[in-house]
């Protein structure tokens, strides 16, 4: 079984994010009116409901807000155990991701992490995080 059947499918709204990861940036939407950052992609600001925004490069850094270790993967191509986490980005939004290159036993709440952009194919670059 090929893991690509689970690959993200960019939409017109999320395409700038995927263009960013492919070119080395973790981009988030930032509101033109209040400056608030948001994730996941939305058509309106989650702080002030403004429809005006730009895609800006975020720091790619944050800390672990919550996590779980998966021991029974949903597909055989996912090698368990692995860590799924919610990372609180330094810009504020929460991002669901994976933690890689770290032993699952050492992962902890508030652990500092940074994005490790990882190409899946020529169009999709995934955004797992690793220890900072």
Site residues, Zn ion (CB under 5 A) = 31, 33-34, 36, 45, 47-48, 50
Number of residues in the chain: 132
Q: Measured from the CB atom, is 27 or 98 closer to Zn ion? A: 27
Give the largest Cα separation in the chain, rounded: 46
Please report, to the nearest 10 degrees, the dihedral formed by the alpha carbons of residues 14, 74, 106, 132 taken in order: -20
> Considering the complex, what minimum distance in angstroms separates the CB of residue 37 from Zn ion?
10
Distance (Å, whole) CA 98 – CA 17: 17
- Cα–Cα distance, 57 to 65 (Å, whole number): 21
Q: Which is nearer to Zn ion, 50 or 59 (CB)?
A: 50
**48 vs 109, which CB is nearer to Zn ion?**
48
Closest to Zn ion by CB, 51 vs 119, is 51
- Provide the minimum distance between the beta carbon of 48 and Zn ion in the complex, in angstroms, as a whole number: 3
CB of 36 to Zn ion, least distance (A): 5
Helix (H), strand (E) at residue 54: strand 53-57
Minimum separation from the CB atom of position 39 to Zn ion (A): 14
């Amino acid at each position: 079984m090929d893991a690509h059947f689970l690959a993200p499918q960019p939409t017109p709204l999320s395409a700038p994010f995927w263009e960013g990861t492919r070119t080395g940036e973790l981009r988030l939407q930032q509101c033109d009116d209040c400056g608030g950052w948001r994730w996941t992609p939305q058509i309106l600001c989650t702080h002030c409901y403004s429809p005006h925004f730009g895609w800006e490069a975020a720091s790619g850094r944050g800390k672990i807000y919550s996590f779980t270790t998966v021991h029974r993967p949903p597909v055989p191509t996912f090698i368990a155990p692995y860590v799924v986490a919610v990372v609180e980005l330094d810009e504020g939004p929460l991002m669901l991701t994976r933690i890689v290159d770290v032993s699952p036993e050492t992962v902890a709440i508030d652990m500092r992490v940074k994005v490790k952009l990882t190409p899946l194919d020529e169009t999709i670059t995934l955004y797992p995080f690793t220890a900072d």
